[in-house]
Amino acid sequence: MNLKVVSAEAGEAGMGLDSMFVTIEGDSVEAVLGNQAKQLAYEERKKHGMHAAGIEGAGGPFPVDSKTNQPVPANGMSEISKRAADLRYRITYKLTQSVI
């Protein structure tokens, strides 16, 4: 399973860093929804000083063309399916700092 962090961005402003969005890329929908992807998001939060943050939510997984680094439109799935090695999936997890 090949997973990587694509981006990590600060979320809502407040008293310091309250939340962040971590986008994970993997080889399949199952990979980006799995426990290893969530663990990767947790590890990324620590790099940004959010040691007590949990996953509040996530968007839906979406296909990405790894050559162009762009999301694949619904009408483009048949084209990228011919280049299966270039098809990846991403999901963005929202992590929110614990109040405890």
Q: Report the DSSP pairing between strands 87-97 and 62-65.
A: antiparallel
Question: How far apart, in Å, do the first and last CA atoms of the chain sit?
Answer: 34
3-state SS class at 68: coil
Q: Which residue has the tokens 């098809």?
A: 87
pLDDT at position 28, please? 92
Give the separation between CA 40 and CA 60, rounded to whole angstroms: 17
Mean confidence (pLDDT) of the chain: 85
Structural domain that includes position 69: 4-97
Neighbouring-strand partners of residue 10 = 20
**Chain centroid to CA 59: how far?**
9
Residue 73: other Cβ atoms inside 10 A: 11
Mean predicted confidence (pLDDT) in 8-27: 79
Q: Higher-confidence residue: 5 or 81?
A: 5
- Amino acid at residue number 29: V
Overall number of domains in the chain: 1
pLDDT in tens, 50-93: 877 888 889 899 999 888 888 888 777 777 777 777 889 999 99
pLDDT attached to residue 69: 87
Is this model's pTM higher than 0.75 or not?
Answer: yes
